[in-house]
Amino acid sequence: MLKIFFAGQHKDGSIDLEAVEGATRAAVHRAGAALLARLLNEHGCNTTAILCGCGHEAPFHAIRSRQLLTAVGPVVFERAYYYCSHCHQGQVPQDRELDIVGTEYSPGVRRMMAAVGSDASFDQGREQLELLAGLHVTRKAVERHAEAIGDDIERRDQARIQRAVQLDLPDVTGNNIPVLYIEMDGTGVPVTAKEAEVRIPRDGDQRSEVMSITIPK
Q: Which residues of the chain have pLDDT under 50?
A: 207-208, 217
Residue 151 lies in a domain: yes
- CA–CA gap between residue 96 and residue 106 (Å, rounded): 12
Provide the domain count of the chain.
1
Give the domain range for residue 145: 46-162
Residue 9 lies in a domain: no
Q: Please tell me the predicted confidence (pLDDT) of residue 171.
A: 64
Residue 118 lies in a domain: yes
**Angle CA 23–26–27, to nearest 5:** 85
Q: Please tell me the predicted confidence (pLDDT) of residue 190.
A: 65
Residue 128 lies in a domain: yes
Q: Please tell me the predicted confidence (pLDDT) of residue 9.
A: 65
Residue 106 lies in a domain: yes
Collapsing DSSP states into helix, strand and coil, what is residue 126?
helix
Q: Please tell me the predicted confidence (pLDDT) of residue 160.
A: 80
Q: Please tell me the predicted confidence (pLDDT) of residue 104.
A: 93
Residue 10 lies in a domain: no
Residue 3 lies in a domain: no
Residue 18 lies in a domain: no
Task: List the one residue out of 163, 169, 155, 153 whose CA is nearest residue 117.
Answer: 153
